[in-house]
Amino acid sequence: MNLDSHKTYATLDASDIRFGIEHLPEQIRIGWEETRDLELPEAFKRATSVVIMGMGGSALGPHMLTAAFFDRLKVPVTIINGYSLPGFVDKKTLVVLSSFSGTTEEVLAAGDEAVKCGAMIFAISAGGELAKRATKRKWPMYQFDPGELAKQPRLGTGFSLAGLLGMLERAKLLKVTGAEVDRMRIAMGEVIDSCAVDVPSKENPAKTVAKSLTDSAVLIIAAEHLVGTAHVLANSINETAKQFATYFTLPELNHHLLEGLTYPKTFASKTVAFLVQSNLYNARTQKRVNVTADMLEEQGIAVVDYVTSGNEPLEEVGEVLQFGSFVSYYLAMKNGVRPEGIPFVDAFKKAMGK
């Protein structure tokens, strides 16, 4: 399939997906600016821990944030993908309920539990039942209007990231400046300039990477501040391109995964490793990326490298988020699938019922 064919995109009804991808920096701008007006209880500043409840796309922004600001967060932050809160949650815990739709049953259940624990609660949502409960119970909330920018949770990572980032900054639990957010958006804009649809395949790095990943299981490998964006890319390839992808982190994978690639013998021939390298990694981690690539190739696994170009973690988070979003989109084109639909996820939800 020709990645440069605009007729192909039209027949696949992918315009909404592409529009959302190309406007991720705008989501970041809106989320950051709107949270400048948040009025938060003084008690938020005295929180001794933060627990973020979210599923799927609604948990991706939080993961990017906790990875990027690992060394800046003033209190422990835990992300939970499920129904129940950790046992340590009490009145000094800030529980963040993150649900794009506002109808995520796991998040709503956790909200009920948070009330019983007497925890502080903050909601991030585009509406739905979560927004109704927040309004009724007077929970502080960032309610965003995704409009045409994000019609699905996986396309709304900019809102969830910036919304959470802005709230934590306002609560004095994380120090970050508007200038850093601007530099992140600039980095994302540079990726858009080089990877947009009208940039020919030979000059478009995202199209080149998508071609290299086609018809393979994808192992995404990253470290430190980019672990969250590796998670985002894996989810995007799963949902948008309908292709298997998962992510691993360095240095952890060096202690087990290399042995696990021996069997089945046919595994290597159908697998590609996508390695994200950064000059901001710990020096030993940078060496691990190179040695890991060599050993993967020795085992017959193709390796695709991506080297970031930012000067600070948040810049590179934006860069990889934007680049990975394009890669998943172009993979959908190569696979000949409709990227906007998630039929199996929808069928599962229907089978689960109320």
pLDDT tens sequence across 96-141: 999 999 999 999 999 999 999 999 999 999 999 999 999 999 999 9
Q: Are residues 133 and 262 in the same domain?
A: no
Helix (H, G, I), strand (E, B) or coil at 342: coil
Domain count, the chain: 2
Mean pLDDT, to the nearest integer, of 285-307?
A: 97
Q: Is residue 15 very low, low, confident or very high in pLDDT (cuts 50, 70, 90)?
A: low
Is 13 part of any domain? no
Q: What is the pLDDT of residues 50-107, one digit of tens each?
A: 999 999 888 999 999 999 999 999 999 999 999 999 999 999 999 999 999 999 999 9
Q: What is the rounded distance in angstroms from the CA atom of residue 110 to the CA atom of residue 95?
A: 9
Q: Is residue 19 very low, low, confident or very high in pLDDT (cuts 50, 70, 90)?
A: confident
- 49 - beta bridge partners? 93
| 3-state percent breakdown (helix, strand, coil) of the chain, nearest 5 | 55, 15, 30
Q: What is the pLDDT of residues 310-342, one digit of tens each?
A: 999 999 999 999 999 999 999 999 999 988 888
Question: Got the DSSP string for 267-298?
Answer: TGGGEEEEEEE-TTS-HHHHHHHHHHHHHHHH
Q: What is the rounded distance in angstroms from the CA atom of residue 248 to the CA atom of residue 254?
A: 10
pLDDT value of position 121: 98
Residue 18 or residue 269, greater confidence? 269
Q: Are residues 162 and 242 in the same domain?
A: no
pLDDT value of position 303: 98
Candidates 181, 168, 160; CA nearest to 62 is 160
- Asked if residues 323 and 330 have their Cβ atoms less than 8 Å apart, the reply is no
The domain that contains 252 carries what CATH number? 3.40.50.10490
pLDDT value of position 299: 95
Q: Is residue 20 very low, low, confident or very high in pLDDT (cuts 50, 70, 90)?
A: confident
Q: Are residues 45 and 167 in the same domain?
A: yes
Mean pLDDT, to the nearest integer, of 189-208?
A: 95
Is 304 part of any domain? yes
Q: Are residues 239 and 331 in the same domain?
A: yes
Q: CA-based angle 82:88:91, to the nearest 5? A: 105
Domain hosting residue 279, numbered range = 198-335
Q: What is the rounded distance in angstroms from the CA atom of residue 170 to the CA atom of residue 184?
A: 19
Candidates 231, 226, 240, 82; CA nearest to 155 is 240
Instruction: Decide: pTM greater than 0.85.
Output: yes
Candidates 273, 46, 35, 263; CA nearest to 159 is 35
Last residue of a domain, one of 115, 142, 176: 176
Q: Are residues 202 and 121 in the same domain?
A: no
pLDDT value of position 17: 83
Last residue of a domain, one of 145, 176, 207: 176
Sign of CA dihedral 147, 240, 196, 233: positive
Residue 346 has pLDDT above 50, yes or no: yes
Mean per-residue pLDDT of the chain: 92
Is 349 part of any domain? no
